[in-house]
């Protein structure tokens, strides 16, 4: 966490600029019990982003919208990444389960295999057949 002077130095801007961006809502500090403003690492990133947009002569109100969109998309990306990682772990678990199941299926007679397959959903049966091919 940065105090306003530390943030100004880190981002190479003035304290006055930080105050102005805070008033516009581009930066959002956290307040301490003693009412000091503290800024996160995200504020440094935001100030660098603002500087890039300013170089393109984009007005500050439009920059504010772009910064909000950037942070919203990043949050969504993080959610998607977490979900993807959880899904990947589940798939690894299922793959292990299916590998363990393969010898059991192979030990069944052809008639027993058909009986088991008939009780599976179409997607499960397709997946099982595919995995049987892959693991042989």
pLDDT in tens, 80-116: 888 888 888 888 887 788 788 778 878 888 888 888 7
Res 134: pLDDT: 67
Counting other chains too, the contacts that 132-135 makes at CB distance below 8 Å and 24 or more residues apart are 132/102, 132/105, 135/98, 135/99, 135/102
Give the contacts of 4 (CB within 8 A, at least 6 positions apart): 15, 18, 19, 29, 37, 39
pLDDT at 35 over 70: yes
**Helix boundaries (H) for the chain:** 4-11, 15-24, 41-55, 60-107, 110-118, 122-134
Asked if residue 48 has pLDDT above 80, the reply is: yes
Count the neighbouring beta carbons within 10 Å of the beta carbon of residue 18. Answer: 23
């Amino acid at each position: 966490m940065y105090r306003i002077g530390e943030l100004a130095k880190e981002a190479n801007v003035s304290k006055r600029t930080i105050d102005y961006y805070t008033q516009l809502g581009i930066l959002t500090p956290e307040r301490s019990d003693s009412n000091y403003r503290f800024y996160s690492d995200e504020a440094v990133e935001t100030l660098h982003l603002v500087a890039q947009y300013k170089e393109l002569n984009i007005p500050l109100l439009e920059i504010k919208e772009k910064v909000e969109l950037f942070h919203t998309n990043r949050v969504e990306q993080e959610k998607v990444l977490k979900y993807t990682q959880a899904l990947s772990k589940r798939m690894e678990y299922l793959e292990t389960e299916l590998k363990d199941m393969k010898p059991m299926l192979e030990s069944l007679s052809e008639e027993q295999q058909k009986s088991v397959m008939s009780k599976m959903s179409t997607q499960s049966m397709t997946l099982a057949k595919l995995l049987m091919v892959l693991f042989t």
